[in-house]
């Protein structure tokens, strides 16, 4: 990678600078009727319930393969949301440590996990709270990387908290890429195309001196973000696009012209953990 002056740019710097380009321009953000960053917690709860009721994804399978076969392992879910990445594996572990900034998210995990697995809840931002958390057999971090501009220390902290494996899930392109045509239509604003999951893998390699294993896959359409209630979607998109209600008809027309968004390609990447202590005596990792 090289900067505009031809100088080499580290993978971590490229990641951070690319994410910064996704910032909403001040002249749009300052006039937004409501904050574009709020998401209803119910969406995350619905996603977790759907994941529990569905077949295991490639991410779940990579986690399960690294947990002890006797089901006595510990799973750490960083940025857990409603627990979609970890709760489907409740029968594969005896303890789940769930970390999230939102108390409402942790409450959802606790409610959904009741009676299935021992749960420890930690509220805070990763890696700020990493020192409070013990090493686990496996660490999973799903759909958080694009919210981590300082991805290098983020990844290093994940790695030092896993004795066997770290599993990271993220979309191949920025998760808001599907909204980019609407930014262009409604504001005349061209959105970035980077960073991507490939750039995240480059940061992992740079941070650890090790190339992660990678699997690309496409979620089942029923597991996508749920664009089945047009009015609800318009409300969400209006908020995301910093638009007033007066532009709903125009937005609805634009959405209709774009058609139903396809499920975004997803990437699961994994690499060995470097934490010590939890998985002493752990048998061979099942690929």
* Tally of CB atoms within 10 A around 192: 15
Task: Give the pLDDT of residue 222.
Answer: 54
Crossing angle, helix 11-20 and helix 197-208, to 10 degrees? 140
Report the 10 Å Cβ neighbour count for 83.
31
Residue 282 has pLDDT above 50, yes or no: no
Residue 287, pLDDT score:
47
CB atoms within 10 A of CB 20: 10
Confidence at residue 26, expressed as pLDDT on a 0 to 100 scale: 97
Instruction: Look at residue 41 in the predicted model and tell me its pLDDT.
Output: 83
Give the pLDDT score at 233. 85
Q: Which two tokens stand for residue 233?
A: 């979607």
Q: Where are the domains of the chain?
A: 11-28+37-174+193-225+265-272
For residues 64 and 1, the model is more confident at: 64
- Which CA distances in Å does 96 have to 86, 221, 281? 8, 28, 20
Residue range 231-249: mean pLDDT, rounded: 90
Mean pLDDT, residues 164-178? 97
pLDDT at 225: 42
| Model confidence at 3: pLDDT above 70 | no
Residue 241: phi and psi, rounded to 5, are -95, 5
Mean pLDDT of the chain: 91
Section 194-215 average pLDDT = 98
Pairwise CA distance, residues 208 & 195, whole Å: 19
Query: Mean pLDDT highest for which of 191-195, 255-259, 280-284?
Result: 191-195
DSSP 225-238: S----HHHHHHHHH
DSSP state of 91: G
**Binning pLDDT at 50, 70 and 90, where does residue 42 land?**
confident
Coil, strand, or helix at residue 107? helix
In sequence order, the 6+-apart residues with CB closer than 8 A to the CB of 232 are none
pLDDT at 51: 96
Evaluate whether 64 touches 92 at the Cβ level (below 8 Å).
yes
Cis amide linkage into residue 195, ω under 30° from 0: yes
Alpha helices in the chain (DSSP H): 11-20, 26-29, 41-53, 58-64, 103-113, 151-160, 180-187, 197-208, 230-240, 248-258
Q: Confidence band (pLDDT; 50, 70, 90) for 284?
A: very low
Q: Which two tokens stand for residue 255?
A: 């959405």
Q: What is the CATH number of domain 11-28+37-174+193-225+265-272?
A: 3.40.50.150
Q: Which two tokens stand for residue 33?
A: 């009727």
Residue 161 has pLDDT above 80, yes or no: yes
Joined tokens for residue 71: 């089901």
Residue 37: which pLDDT band, with cuts at 50, 70 and 90?
confident
More confident residue, 9 or 193: 193
> What pLDDT sits at residue 136?
98
Lowest mean pLDDT among 62-66, 73-77, 274-278, 280-284: 280-284
pLDDT level of residue 281 (50, 70, 90 thresholds): very low
């Amino acid at each position: 990678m090289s900067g505009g002056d031809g100088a080499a740019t580290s993978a971590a710097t490229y990641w951070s600078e690319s994410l910064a380009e996704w910032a909403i321009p001040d002249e749009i953000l300052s006039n937004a009727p409501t904050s574009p960053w709020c998401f209803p917690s119910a969406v995350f709860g619905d996603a977790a319930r759907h994941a529990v009721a569905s077949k295991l994804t490639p991410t779940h399978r990579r986690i399960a393969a690294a947990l002890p076969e006797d089901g006595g392992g510990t799973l750490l879910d960083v940025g857990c949301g409603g627990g979609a990445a970890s709760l489907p594996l409740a029968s594969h572990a005896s303890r789940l440590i769930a970390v999230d900034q939102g108390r409402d998210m942790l409450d959802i995990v606790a409610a959904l996990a009741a009676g299935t697995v021992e749960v420890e809840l930690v509220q805070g931002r990763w890696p700020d709270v990493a020192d409070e958390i013990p090493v686990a057999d496996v660490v999973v971090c799903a759909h958080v990387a694009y919210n981590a501009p300082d991805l290098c220390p983020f990844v290093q902290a994940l790695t030092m908290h896993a004795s066997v494996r770290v599993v990271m899930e993220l979309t191949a392109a920025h998760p808001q890429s599907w909204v980019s045509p609407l930014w262009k239509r409604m504001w005349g604003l061209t959105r970035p195309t980077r960073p991507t999951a490939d750039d995240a893998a480059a940061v992992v390699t740079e941070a650890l001196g090790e190339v992660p294993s990678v699997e690309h896959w496409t979620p089942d359409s029923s597991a996508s973000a749920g664009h089945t209630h047009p009015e609800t979607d318009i409300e969400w998109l209006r908020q995301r696009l910093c638009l007033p209600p007066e532009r709903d008809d125009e937005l609805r027309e634009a959405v209709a012209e774009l058609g139903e968004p396809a499920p975004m390609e997803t990437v699961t990447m994994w690499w060995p953990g470097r934490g010590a202590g939890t998985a002493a005596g752990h048998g061979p990792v099942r690929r």
